[in-house]
Structure 1
Amino acid sequence: MQSNAYGAPLAGGAFDFVSFLKKPQTILRCLSWLFAIVVFATITAEGYVNSHMEPEATCMFNHRDSACGYGVGIGVLAFLVCVGFLVLDAYFPQISNAKERKYIIVGDLVFSGVWTFLWFICFCVLANQWSWTNDPAVPGDAARAVVAFSFFSILTWGLLSYFAYERYRQGLSDLDRQYTDPAVDPPYPPTPYTTGSSGPAGYQQSPFSQNQENPGEYQPPTY
């Protein structure tokens, strides 16, 4: 039933690197990958500063180390997820099993939706903490870049969720088109005879037609 779903009949053929790079999904993954690098690399390189109030280096976002840790964690995980799904996207046209294709598409949909939500939280946390930051030692350009690219990541991952949902819905539509009701058995043919008051047509009278109630006079055997 699922052999033709999720584009399984289109599997095979040579890998076209140029066409792969031109796909909107590939472009969005590369942008998400790049944005993730900007976020966690900027926080790692410039996100911890020495304040005149505190001798140790603290997070540039209102000295909240948890905010910087969250940004680095989400960025690194997004980087790894993007690399993994780029590899799956390149390998996807060679997969002929519909179930495997479905698992990849569902996984893409789930991860993209979750990371859209996580990036939204990251943007809200960093933007809020940055609004309360008044330390002159904090590199403002770096902090604003982290907040901006967190917001851009929401857009790219949201679009990836949309494309994954469209692929999933297309697979369900393929299944619906393939489904057909089982064949209904034809009605039983009419009987070759009709029932009447005297029995079925063509019924032959029993050879023993003598009336059994009046068997006649008894004849004893001759010895």
Structure 2
Amino acid sequence: MEGTSFGAGRAGSGAVDPLDFLQQPRTVLRIAAWVFSIVVFGAVVNEGYVNRDSGPELRCVFNENEAACSYAIAVGLLAFFACIFFLLLDLNFQHISSVKDRRAAVLLDLAFSGLWSFLWFVGFCFLANQWQRTKGSQGVSQAGDAARAAVTFSFFSILTWAALTVKALQRYRLGTDMTLFATDQFPAAPSGAGYPGAAGGLDGTDTYQSPPFAETLDPSPKGYQVPAY
């Protein structure tokens, strides 16, 4: 089985099949989170502000609390762009060659998914509480479906982002098989090869060599005689 690095194989090992990518659980969860974010901030933007019975001034449908509508729009809009970003990151994750870059991408996914699951939990509790306190009126009754949709899909968003957090944690725990990045960078040494300079070592048959120029030395060179005293 081919080694993996944070759930993906060797960089450049092959093109990503779009159909297979769309069927992955992580991709399905991201698309679901993307759709839920559209429902939440879209419902609040389009029908989350209603007229007062006493005048034309627009007020937030959630107990006339502007913070509730602003919170839902902000969290939903940021989640919308984050889902697009992480979908593109997942699509190109296979082509990230650096181990550090892959680790940083997984940690970013883990931190953001965990944070947004918490923010959606806060948003769900906030919107549900303010909706329960909302007094009935003609404008509220007209925007009731949009308000309930925002509350419901805020709850669904908690589940999807929590599942994405678990997926990111699992991918981080997979770690890295370092042989993916080391085997191709260094040539394999031939079997049986020793260290350079070890030829004729202690186990060799030629353990001793004559000193250089030893055979050319002559104690009585020609043309020279030892004088007699």
Q: TM-score range with shorter-chain normalisation? A: 0.7 to 0.9
Partner residue in 1 for 2:114: 113
Q: How many residues align?
A: 172
1:8–1:96 contact (8 Å) kept in structure 2: no
Aligned partners of 2:4, 2:108: CA distance in 1, in Å? Answer: 20
Report the Cα distance in structure 1 between the residues aligned to 2:18 and 2:56, rounded to whole angstroms.
52
Deviation at 1:4, TM superposition (A): 6.6
Aligned-pair CA distance for 1:88: 0.2
Q: Deviations over 1:7-42 (max 9, x none)?
A: 565322112100100000000000000000000111
Determine whether 1:165 maps to 2:169: yes
Q: Percent identity?
A: 51
Aligned partners of 1:8 and 1:95 also within 8 Å:
no
The 8 Å contact of residues 75 and 120 in structure 2, kept in 1 or not, is answered as: yes
Q: How far apart are the structure 2 equivalents of 1:6 and 1:111?
A: 17
Q: Is 1:78 paired with 2:79? A: yes
Q: Which runs of 5+ in 2 are unaligned?
A: 179-229
Q: What is the match of residue 46 of structure 1?
A: 47
Q: Deviations over 1:169-202 (max 9, x none)?
A: 1117x57xxxxxxxxxxxxxxxxxxxxxxxxxxx
Q: Contact (CA 8 Å) 1:28, 1:160: kept in 2 or not?
A: yes
Q: Which runs of 4+ in 1 moved over 3 A?
A: none
1:156 aligned partner: 160
| Counterpart amino acid of residue 11 in structure 2 | A
Unaligned runs of 5+ in 1: 176-223
What RMSD, in angstroms, separates the aligned Cα atoms of the two structures? 1.7
Alignment of 1:1-223 (within 5 A): 5-7=5-7, 9-12=9-12, 13-136=14-137, 137-138=139-140, 139-171=143-175, 174=177
- The answer as to whether partners of 2:7 and 2:171 remain within 8 angstroms in 1 is no
Larger radius of gyration: 1
Write out per-residue CA displacement over residues 31-64 of structure 1, whole angstroms, 9 at most, x where no aligned residue: 0000000001110000000011454100000000
Give the Cα–Cα distance (whole angstroms) in 2 for the partners of residues 125 and 102 of structure 1. Answer: 34
Quick one: structure 1 residues 45 and 9, their matched pair in 2 at CA, closer, same or farther if it must change by over 3 Å? closer
Query: What is the TM-score normalised by the length of structure 2?
Result: 0.71
In structure 1, what is the Cα distance between the partners aligned to 2:171 and 2:7?
Answer: 9
**Offset of 1:96 from its aligned partner?**
2.0
Counterpart Cα distance in 2 of 1:48 and 1:87: 34
Q: CA 1:54–1:64 in 2, change beyond 3 Å: closer, same or farther?
A: farther
The normalised TM-score by structure 1 is 0.73
What is the CA–CA distance in structure 2 between the aligned matches of 1:148 and 1:92, rounded to whole Å?
Answer: 33
